Amino acid sequence: MADVKGQLPARPKIKSLFMIGALSLSGKAMYFKALTLGIILIQVCMPALAQTPTEQPDSPGILSRLAERARQARAKFQALGETALGFAGAYYEDHIQPVTDSYVEWASNVRSSLQERIQTAVENYTPFRN
């Protein structure tokens, strides 16, 4: 086998045993072979999967300690949330509320005056004049 400069030698083509067997079988026989192989694999693997440990690895002491730590973490988280809510409320009262109060008062005045105008227009409205 002579190599051309810069090219790799050609590799021989090797067919796997499965491909040789699949090529020699007809369509139905190939499906039957695959089905049979699948059933054999299931029969071999099922006993290994069925063997599960019957004892529990976690003792009740570990579970109760984990539950206690979860309660402590929850209490800490709630305390932090309350603190953050307190800071947010103080910030709102000190910085945001003084600015927004004037806008809220203005909007309330506009609504009141608009409502009064509509009320007087409805009261003075007479659809049929005699």
> Is this model's pTM higher than 0.95 or not?
no
The domains of the chain are located at 15-50
Count of alpha carbons within 13 angstroms of residue 124, beta-carbon side: 6
pLDDT, block means (10 residues), the chain with 130 residues: 57 50 57 80 71 61 89 93 93 90 92 93 77
| pLDDT value of residue 45 | 72
| pLDDT value of residue 53 | 58
Angle at 21 between CA 15 and CA 23, to 5 degrees: 80
Q: Is 2 helix (H, G, I), strand (E, B) or coil?
A: coil
| pLDDT value of residue 8 | 59
